[in-house]
Amino acid sequence: MLYVEILGSLPEMARDEVRAMLELGGGKITGEDYLLLKVEADEKAYPFLDRLGLAHEYGELTIEADSVDELLKKADEVEWPIEGTFKVDTETMANCEHDVLDLPRKLGGVIHSKGFKVNLSKPDNLVRAYCGEKLYAGIRLRYFDPKDFERRKAHHRPFFRPISLHPRFSRALVNLTKAKREILDPFMGAGGILIEAGLLGLKVYGVDIRPEMVEGAETNLRNYGVRDYTLELGDATRLEELFPNKKFEAVATDPPYGTAATLAGRKRDELYRKALRSIYNVLEDGGRLAIAFPIEFDGKGEAEAVGFRTVGMYYQRVHKSLERYFYVFEKAR
Ligand SMILES: C[S@@+](CC[C@H](N)C(=O)[O-])C[C@H]1O[C@@H](n2cnc3c(N)ncnc32)[C@H](O)[C@@H]1O
């Protein structure tokens, strides 16, 4: 059994990202307690869980208990998969119903009494104890360091445009498409989504209507070591002409929201509608599109009118004048 601790900003989107990765890697979510997901999967799922954008960490779930006493009793009974030293670290979630103030010391004491050595400054294993409705303990396998994502934020890239999603969301959009081979971003801008996809080992295709973006996206992709790319100057509403003999496994994109410069003189809603149709035409059957639209646009209705099925829809308030939905659509097989 594994646990995944997801981030709290868009928990439904984060949970569906985990679900998408488990559909690729084999496994399923069997329970949840606030931001902690219980997952049934084996090692084959690790490379896919390693792709996550909206997760804090995942690990092996060793114990689940209804009280601190039960947790400590089970901790004494189980075989801890610890090699080397350890340290206990507690996560008190917002729904925590137990008194866990002293838990790290008590749990550490029990594990120590089983012959394992404590090292508080540089432990080989981190034992994570979670308090929610229930109590959980496990061993962290992978921590998603925020610094890794921060390093790829728009202002750290050689070609800077302030119109970029946070890399964690770009990563989640890619994952929600369940892409295994390739991804197309028809409004690639400075390439934020393509960078995340490229770092996952996917072949990336990008389109933008402005030449400086095509050049800038290439600079950015190369800067992060992404080499397998095809970038085209062109129009996201005429993808069939740009890629005449090609169908894509998946599309992830963040179209312009309405400033004159990014819309290149087009009416916004008409641009969205035409782009949805064109994306539909170049997607493989069963392929997925992950896309953001401002809330004023009926993304679900418009995509379904083109033939898509809606598989996910997540609301986000970016700031006072921008609220959007991230959508995941699927083309029927
Ligand atoms: C919001 S930005 C994308 C940001 C991008 N996700 C990133 O991380 O940098 C939208 C981009 O769409 C481009 N664009 C606008 N109209 C377009 C069209 N009809 N076809 C292709 N690209 C277009 C703009 O030039 C702009 O670079």
| The predicted structure's pLDDT at residue 249 | 98
Task: Please say if the pLDDT value at position 260 is more than 90.
Answer: no
- pLDDT confidence tier of residue 291, bands split at 50, 70 and 90: very high
**58 CA from centroid of ligand 1 (Å):** 34
**167 CA from centroid of ligand 1 (Å):** 16
Query: Could you tell me the strand order of the sheet in which 308-319 lies?
Result: 229-233, 203-208, 182-185, 248-253, 283-294, 322-331, 308-319
Contact partners, residue 90, CB within 8 Å, separation at least 6 = 100, 103, 104, 128, 129, 130, 131
| The predicted structure's pLDDT at residue 57 | 98
Residues of the chain with CATH 3.40.50.150: 154-331
Contact partners, residue 167, CB within 8 Å, separation at least 6 = 53, 149, 152, 153, 192, 195, 196
Q: Which two structure tokens, joined as six digits, stand for 180?
A: 């295994």
Sign of dihedral through CA atoms 154, 155, 157, 160? positive
- The residue to which tokens 């095509």 are assigned: 214
Whether 236 is in the pocket of ligand 1, judged by its Cβ within 6 Å, is yes
Whether 114 is in the pocket of ligand 1, judged by its Cβ within 6 Å, is no
Residues of the chain with CATH 3.30.2130.30: 2-144
Least Cα distance to 329 among 285, 291, 278 occurs for 291
What are the pLDDT digits (tens) for 22-73? 999 999 999 999 999 999 999 999 999 999 999 999 999 999 999 999 999 9
Q: Which two structure tokens, joined as six digits, stand for 287?
A: 């392929």
Whether 206 is in the pocket of ligand 1, judged by its Cβ within 6 Å, is no
CATH class of the domain whose range is 154-331: alpha beta
Whether 262 is in the pocket of ligand 1, judged by its Cβ within 6 Å, is yes
Q: Which two structure tokens, joined as six digits, stand for 76?
A: 């004494």
| The predicted structure's pLDDT at residue 95 | 98
Task: Please say if the pLDDT value at position 307 is more than 80.
Answer: yes
| The predicted structure's pLDDT at residue 163 | 76
> 2-144: which CATH topology?
VC0802-like (3.30.2130)
Contact partners, residue 66, CB within 8 Å, separation at least 6 = 134, 135
Q: Identify the residue whose C-alpha is closest to ligand 1 atom 3.
A: 189
**190 CA from centroid of ligand 1 (Å):** 8
Percent of the chain with pLDDT over 70: 98
Q: Choose one of 232, 257, 262 to mutate for the ligand 1 pocket test, by most ligand atoms within 8 angstroms of C-beta.
A: 262
Task: Please say if the pLDDT value at position 258 is more than 90.
Answer: no
| The predicted structure's pLDDT at residue 187 | 98
Whether 6 is in the pocket of ligand 1, judged by its Cβ within 6 Å, is no
Of the ranges 37-41, 157-161, 174-178, 234-238, which one carries the lowest mean pLDDT score?
Answer: 157-161
Whether 16 is in the pocket of ligand 1, judged by its Cβ within 6 Å, is no
**286 CA from centroid of ligand 1 (Å):** 25
| The predicted structure's pLDDT at residue 161 | 84
Whether 216 is in the pocket of ligand 1, judged by its Cβ within 6 Å, is no
Whether 330 is in the pocket of ligand 1, judged by its Cβ within 6 Å, is no
What are the pLDDT digits (tens) for 114-158? 999 999 999 999 999 999 999 999 999 999 999 999 999 989 999
The 3-state secondary structure of 45-65, one letter per residue: HHHHHCCCCCEEEEEEEEEEE
| Other beta carbons within 10 Å of 40 | 15
- The residue to which tokens 């137990």 are assigned: 98
| The predicted structure's pLDDT at residue 271 | 95
What are the pLDDT digits (tens) for 181-203? 999 999 999 999 999 999 999 99
154 DSSP assignment: G
| Other beta carbons within 10 Å of 203 | 18
**E strand or H helix at 285:** strand 283-294
Which is the closest atom of ligand 1 to the Cα of 190? 9
Q: What is the mean pLDDT of the chain?
A: 96
**188 CA from centroid of ligand 1 (Å):** 5
| The predicted structure's pLDDT at residue 113 | 97
Task: Please say if the pLDDT value at position 314 is more than 70.
Answer: yes
The Cα–Cα gap between 333 and 330 comes to 9
